[in-house]
Structure 1
Amino acid sequence: MNRKTTPLRLSLVLAALLAVGACATPAKQSDELTIYAAGPRFGSHVIVADFEAVQRVDGASILVPKPAVPKVAESRVGVDVGTDAMTLHFQHAWYASLRLESDAPLDLRAYVPDGVLAFDLNVEDLAQGGVSFKVGCGEYCERQVPFLVPARAMAGKGRQPLVLSMRCFAHDGDDFSAVTKPFTLDGSGSGRVEIAHVRFLKTGTPNAACPDYKTQSVTPEMLNQSWSIKGWGPRHEAKKAEAARRKAAGEKTGIVFIGDSITEGWEKSGAPVWQRYYGKHNALGLGFGGDHTENVLWRLQHGALDGLDPKVVVLMAGTNNTGDRHENPVTTAAGVRRNIEEVRQRLPNASILLLAIFPRDAKPDSELRRINDEVNKILAGFDDGKRIHFLDINQTFLAADGTLSREVMPDLLHLNEQSYEAWARAMEPTLQRLMEN
């Protein structure tokens, strides 16, 4: 070996090794970054998951294994791997997921916000299911685009190209420099959906729309979830019919509760407590499981309050904006404000008792708890001392150290009968004062 050339050769070898290591994250100037085509690219691997388990996919078709005592015994989630595509199939699933994860984080900044996410989609069956797409935006950050309605319209039409603007996935402040979950296909209910040729492009023309995250919480929309789409509309019509019946019968509705599944729970585990506290007021519950602020707004604008003239409206909404979208507290609060405005317009004689969004998650420093706390700080400023009255009873549910117990909320979100009793007791002094005004 020529000693004089050894340092040069070593430099060349070192440069080559660095280049090999760097290939996991392609050069930023690349116009196209393909992350799946006949298999995952750039050090990525495929993960399939359901509500209870996660399974790595190594080139074979698999079912997610069931635990010894499954929470959803009838659910089945799996993936079929073909030569150039993967098919996520799921039955009776609360949650099904097929995602690409990268061992070496990918730098997607060149494709945000003006680029696109493109892939081929074949909806084989989705009559009883729904899907959404996610792109990672840094550590503990993913952005989701719901796609239930358009995906069902694609069913049975074969493989079709789908192009989504990266603006659908990019929020102010997101960091796409080190993304470990570049693409996820999520499903729920029952369905069979194939994806192929997943890639990011610097330029492209989107052929599908997505919500504007800055205005989504204040833009009225029906709730379109696979588990709710059949029942949400009929429930809305049934509630309208009940309000009309009360009006025709001359029955006074003293209190109206408006909200999401936590409010709907008054008709389930909270029913005995409801009767003891609110039966005498002929109260009406307008809680709908899964509702975001924009879904509440849609109901209010489509007759939910017609024929009613209550003394008090109890309003709590926003925790699904947090849980489903990890939404900015400012936009969630704007959605609540929009609901308040709609109630005030339609029920000008009513006082509004605006409740702080209840705590969720076990620990006080969890992300979702933190977001809800920030929303509540904004909501407190809506209290005008006249028609809008803010009430925070969250300490009722928490231990001294701020933790939330499953004895209080079994899933760390929804209440049991004892917790509805605690809610009613904590709210009663304020509610009675407003009822007497």
Structure 2
Amino acid sequence: MTRFALAFFAALLPLAAQALDLDKGWQIVVTDFEGEAPLKAGRVTVPKPANPRVPDSHVAASRGDDGTLTLQFSNSWIAQLRWQGGRPLDLRPYLADGTVEFDLRVIDLAHGGMKFKLGCGKDCERKVPFLFAGRELIGKGPQHMALALKCFWREGDDFSAVPQPFVLEGTGSGELQVSRLRLNQHGKATTACPDYRKQSVTPERLQESWAMDWWLPRHEAKLAEVKAHRDAGRRVDLVFLGDSITQGWENEGKAVWAEHFAKYNAMALGFGGDRTENLLWRLQHGELDGMAPKVVVMMIGTNNTGDRLEDPALTIAGIRKNLDEIRQHQPQARVLLLALFPRGEKPDDLTRRHNAQVNALLPALADGRQVFFLDIGQALMNPCGTLSRDILPDWLHLSPQGYDIWARSLEPTLTPWLAQ
């Protein structure tokens, strides 16, 4: 939306208050991955279900006499303070230069992460990651945050009835305090946020608390693996690039890998959780250097869908950027660009449909000379389009049987290329 259009919206709508105090008129709900509890006064701990999937997690929150809210979480997949239950807000007049502002104190985040979110309706949630910046604030006392409302807006979003104007989210373990939360119709943003239009093409390390201890060491280990092949005089003929599905060749797919690909000194450069920008960072930091493979197989983008339901055109831009990087580092290699695998149990699953939109755009990236496109999704599905737990146990990641289907589906294409 252009600045003119935003100003036009503001002119048509009744003037809103210059500032909205979100400490009033909203219910604060504390959530864990498996439960929630309202925070009315004092302190509350999110109750555990009878058979918890995450038995070691603990999420609690408290409200101080001055209104300060404290969120404490440990071993948590997700912990939230959610502002909800009030009258949905029309935030269209705020989009031009409005801000969400609050005081944030990061007490502990050494083994955790954090995000700011806004719920914008059905199947609509926008987030601003704050792990790296948040860890820099540990022990520095209360800090004033001012984020532009446009940080949470995407082209096509309807901000006419926002039911959840703010969410403070933590993962892993940590302790955060927030106070004086408000929306200003005319404010000055002082806290940076990523430009959603460029996020998929801007190289970045994976910004997730559960990845901080292993992501960068894995990258270094992969560089060492390349060097070991080179020092031993072994030619790496085949490279797989991707996310956790590709990383799974080292686990559930290990036996299939040994049967089909080990003879090519193949490397699986897959990192769980990676989106297009994270793979791009790895490629720009040496993961394709020091070898000359005949073939590079790439599948990336399902986490762009799962993490932020990104506009398919933006995901395609990230995939194209990675293809450019591969051409630059390995101009001699054929690239087999794979369609994103189906996810979600049924064909009408939201993320499945989103991936299908990405897949529909992928063939245009293949030139038939260096880059070739292949979609093996039908081989992973039942005839009716549903998924089987025998192949995709969690409707996303492959079982050993799934990896066998993947490998056999690649053989007709890869075998002649690798034999040359």
The TM-score range, normalised by the shorter chain, is over 0.9
Partner residue, 1:66: 48
Structure 2: distance between partners of 1:74 and 1:428 = 43
Cα deviation digits, residues 192-248 of structure 1 (max 9, x gap): 001112111011221211111001101111112111112111111110111011112
The answer to whether residue 326 in structure 2 is matched with residue 339 in structure 1 is: no
Aligned residues: 407
Residue identity matched to 1:79: A
TM-score (norm 2): 0.94
Cα deviation digits, residues 84-132 of structure 1 (max 9, x gap): 1211111011111111113432211121142111011111111110100
Q: 1:48 aligns with which of 30, 37, 55?
A: 30
Q: Deviation of residue 346 (structure 1)?
A: 0.5
Residue identity matched to 2:142: R
Q: Deviation of residue 436 (structure 1)?
A: 3.5
1:193-342 aligned at under 5 Å gives the runs 193-342=176-325
The answer to whether residue 377 in structure 2 is matched with residue 390 in structure 1 is: no
Post-superposition, which runs of at least 4 consecutive aligned residues in structure 1 deviate over 4 A? none
Structure 2: distance between partners of 1:63 and 1:400 = 46
Unmatched 5+ stretches in structure 1: 1-25
Q: Deviation of residue 371 (structure 1)?
A: 1.3
Cα deviation digits, residues 46-100 of structure 1 (max 9, x gap): 2211222232333342211112222222111121122312111110111111111
Q: Deviation of residue 367 (structure 1)?
A: 1.9
Q: 1:268 to 1:28 in 2, by over 3 A?
A: farther
Contact 1:138–1:177, Cα closer than 8 Å, also in 2: no
Structure 2: distance between partners of 1:433 and 1:206 = 56
TM-score (norm 1): 0.90
Residue identity matched to 1:368: T
Q: 1:323 to 1:123 in 2, by over 3 A?
A: same
Unmatched 5+ stretches in structure 2: 1-12
Contact 1:125–1:193, Cα closer than 8 Å, also in 2: yes
Structure 1: distance between partners of 2:326 and 2:130 = 30
Residue identity matched to 2:20: L
Structure 1: distance between partners of 2:279 and 2:253 = 21
1:157-168 aligned at under 5 Å gives the runs 157-168=140-151
Contact 1:126–1:155, Cα closer than 8 Å, also in 2: yes
Q: Deviation of residue 27 (structure 1)?
A: 6.4
SS in 1 for 2:235: coil
Cα deviation digits, residues 321-367 of structure 1 (max 9, x gap): 11111100000011001101100110111100111011111121222
- Report % sequence identity: 50
Structure 1: distance between partners of 2:68 and 2:377 = 48
Partner residue, 1:370: 353
Structure 2: distance between partners of 1:232 and 1:400 = 37
Q: 2:59 aligns with which of 71, 77, 101?
A: 77
Structure 2: distance between partners of 1:93 and 1:195 = 19
The answer to whether residue 11 in structure 2 is matched with residue 29 in structure 1 is: no
